[in-house]
């Protein structure tokens, strides 16, 4: 049987009425050939490549036609872009060796089928790398396929939206998955850190604690405004103590109509219930930290800094996770959104308000810790830094943010050096200045 006709399609715009794109990189690429029965032969330099676009079948077969052989070997890597939803997901397979891109949609119940496809590629010698957007439920998905791939990458959803707008005016699951795979292969995919299972559990526990705090804050605000309607003045902090609650109940009996007393008492009971839940979650978090010597050691190091307590230290650790992923303290401050926006044009550079990117709850905890540090009677470098800015005429609020930024750099230096806080400004040590 004679071999198939060999034609060079690298200079042609279409094949069987379908658009081919050979514009990216040095390798030819045949994208979006939707016909599963289509076979395409491309001559690229001295290589003769036969393409197929069914993910179950072998993506590329390298054969010798008419004495033409490949001169050099290329690493066999498969980049898989996944557009994930709870009921279904779409996977785009991009073969780095051949440049062909295939797309297939799976129902949620077909996860095993997807895993088998990934395993098939690995058996054929491919290094399989999967990128998926960070959406709700994606952790279960990635844990299920972890043993079937060589690398898992989480896509930064917010930044990726901007890429999609520039790549294509249309938007659907296929385009999203294909764009993820293509940008992943080119090394241009915006990614986020993938936390370990233990880091993920710590983050979940901190979110539970913060959610109870937010709920209690909402009830306290409503109760505070309601009491003011009847001339009962309170301190919001007083509403979290038993002594304060007892005083409010007594004043309520005297000043509030009987028809509203039950409403106020129910809100008081709700605050007491949420306070108990916050205490329980904090004990649970401390117990979780105590079972891990590394986490326990990190918390103790951070607590050596004035103003930093258990909750602030744990929140910082759960957000940063692995400190080796940051080059320096400035990067960590930017991660928490504590750096100013920069608007530059020509020689003119303007600094605006802080970016407020990242975890807002941890950022607020750090600012509160900074306030506690500044109110402390203990002399320290961060406090002197704040006072120096105020003396120069900087507004106190801006100086507070600058001090919080410095505190972040100090906390990062403590974790990186694995040494307790040392406040000797004259020595210019990292653990003092946050270098």
Question: Which of 41-55, 58-72, 124-138, 289-303 shows the highest mean pLDDT?
Answer: 289-303
Please give the residue that has the higher pLDDT: either 73 or 298. 298
State the chain's mean pLDDT as an integer. Answer: 80
Residue 11 lies in a domain: no
Q: Where in 172-296 does DSSP place strands (E)? A: 191-192
pLDDT of residue 64: 40
Helix or strand run (H / E) with residue 181 = helix 173-186
Q: Model confidence at 151, in pLDDT bands (50, 70, 90)? A: very high
Model pTM score: 0.74
Task: Based on the fold, state whether residues 258 and 351 are members of the same structural domain.
Answer: no
Long-range contacts made by residues 36-41, C-beta under 8 angstroms, separation at least 24?
Answer: 39/4, 40/9, 40/15, 41/4, 41/5, 41/6, 41/7, 41/9, 41/65
Residue 28 lies in a domain: no
Task: Based on the fold, state whether residues 95 and 183 are members of the same structural domain.
Answer: yes
Tens digits of residue pLDDT in 82-100: 999 889 999 999 988 777 8
Residue 113 lies in a domain: yes
CA distance 181 to 252: 64
Tens digits of residue pLDDT in 98-118: 778 899 999 989 999 999 999
Task: Based on the fold, state whether residues 373 and 286 are members of the same structural domain.
Answer: no
Residue 17 lies in a domain: no
pLDDT tops 60 at residue 36: no
Q: Looking at residues 15-41, what average pLDDT do you find?
A: 39
Task: Based on the fold, state whether residues 265 and 311 are members of the same structural domain.
Answer: no
Q: Model confidence at 226, in pLDDT bands (50, 70, 90)? A: very high
Q: Looking at residues 334-350, what average pLDDT do you find?
A: 79
Domain boundary among 229, 259, 291: 291
Residue 428 lies in a domain: no
Q: Where in 242-383 does DSSP place strands (E)? A: 340-345, 348-354
Task: Based on the fold, state whether residues 237 and 328 are members of the same structural domain.
Answer: no
Residue 152 lies in a domain: yes
pLDDT tops 70 at residue 250: yes
pLDDT of residue 300: 94
- The tokens describing 52, both together, are 């197929």
Task: Based on the fold, state whether residues 201 and 305 are members of the same structural domain.
Answer: no
Q: Model confidence at 238, in pLDDT bands (50, 70, 90)? A: confident
Please give the residue that has the higher pLDDT: either 330 or 345. 330
Domain boundary among 250, 270, 291: 291
Residue 122 lies in a domain: yes
Q: Which residues pair with 105 in a beta bridge?
A: 90
pLDDT of residue 345: 66
Task: Based on the fold, state whether residues 148 and 248 are members of the same structural domain.
Answer: no
Task: Based on the fold, state whether residues 126 and 174 are members of the same structural domain.
Answer: yes
**Cα torsion through 234, 236, 239, 245, rounded to 10:** -10
Domain boundary among 238, 264, 291: 291
Tens digits of residue pLDDT in 158-209: 888 887 776 666 678 888 899 899 889 888 888 888 888 899 899 999 999 9
pLDDT tops 80 at residue 425: no
pLDDT of residue 381: 84
Please give the residue that has the higher pLDDT: either 369 or 10. 369
Cβ 92 vs Cβ 112: under 8 Å: no
pLDDT tops 50 at residue 32: no
Residues in the chain: 435
Residue 276 lies in a domain: yes
Phi/psi of residue 2, nearest 5 degrees: -75, 145
Domain housing 220: 197-291
Number of domains in the chain: 3
Tens digits of residue pLDDT in 286-312: 999 999 999 999 999 999 998 899 999
Task: Based on the fold, state whether residues 231 and 188 are members of the same structural domain.
Answer: no
pLDDT tops 70 at residue 51: no
HSE-CB at 244 with a 13 A cutoff on CA atoms is 16
Task: Based on the fold, state whether residues 188 and 89 are members of the same structural domain.
Answer: yes
Task: Based on the fold, state whether residues 202 and 116 are members of the same structural domain.
Answer: no
pLDDT of residue 55: 42
Task: Based on the fold, state whether residues 279 and 311 are members of the same structural domain.
Answer: no
Instruction: Quickly count: other Cβ atoms within 10 Å of residue 401's Cβ.
Output: 19
């Amino acid at each position: 049987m004679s071999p198939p006709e060999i034609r060079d399609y690298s200079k042609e715009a279409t094949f069987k009425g379908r658009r081919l794109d050979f514009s990216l990189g040095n390798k030819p690429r045949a994208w979006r050939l939707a016909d599963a029965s289509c076979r395409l032969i491309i001559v690229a330099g001295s290589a003769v490549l036969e393409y197929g676009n069914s993910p179950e079948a072998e993506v590329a077969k390298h054969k010798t036609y008419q004495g033409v052989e490949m001169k050099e070997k290329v690493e066999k890597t498969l980049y898989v872009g996944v557009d994930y939803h709870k009921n279904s997901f779409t996977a785009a397979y991009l073969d780095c060796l051949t440049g062909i891109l295939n797309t297939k949609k799976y129902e949620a119940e077909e996860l095993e089928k997807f895993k088998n496809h990934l395993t098939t590629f690995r058996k054929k010698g491919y290094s399989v790398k999967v990128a998926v957007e960070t959406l709700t439920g994606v952790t279960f998905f990635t844990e299920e396929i972890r043993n079937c791939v060589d690398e898992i990458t989480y896509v930064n959803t917010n930044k990726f939206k901007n890429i999609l707008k520039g790549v294509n005016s249309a938007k659907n699951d296929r385009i999203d998955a294909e764009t993820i795979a293509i940008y992943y292969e080119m090394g241009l995919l915006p990614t986020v850190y993938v936390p370990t299972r233990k880091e993920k559990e710590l983050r979940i526990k901190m979110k539970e604690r913060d959610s109870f705090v937010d709920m209690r804050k909402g009830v306290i605000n409503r109760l505070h405004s309601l009491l003011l309607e009847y001339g009962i003045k309170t301190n919001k902090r007083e509403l979290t103590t038993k002594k304060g609650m007892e005083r409010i109940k007594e004043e309520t009996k005297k000043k509030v109509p009987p028809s509203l007393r039950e409403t106020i008492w129910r809100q008081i009971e709700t605050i007491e219930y949420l306070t108990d839940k916050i205490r329980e979650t904090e004990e649970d978090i401390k117990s979780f930290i105590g079972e891990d010597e590394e986490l326990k050691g990190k918390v103790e190091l951070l607590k050596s800094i004035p103003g930093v307590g258990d909750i602030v230290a744990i929140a910082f650790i759960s957000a940063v996770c692995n400190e080796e992923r940051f080059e320096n303290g400035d990067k960590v401050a930017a991660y928490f959104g504590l750096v100013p926006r920069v608007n530059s044009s020509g020689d003119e550079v303007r600094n605006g308000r802080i970016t407020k990117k990242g975890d807002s709850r941890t950022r607020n905890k750090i600012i509160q810790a900074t306030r506690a540090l500044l109110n402390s009677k203990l002399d320290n470098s961060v406090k002197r830094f704040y006072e120096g800015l105020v003396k120069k005429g900087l507004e106190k609020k801006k100086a507070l943010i600058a001090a919080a930024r410095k505190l972040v750099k100090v906390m990062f230096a403590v974790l990186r050096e694995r040494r307790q806080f040392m406040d000797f400004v004259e020595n210019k040590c990292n653990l003092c200045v946050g270098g």
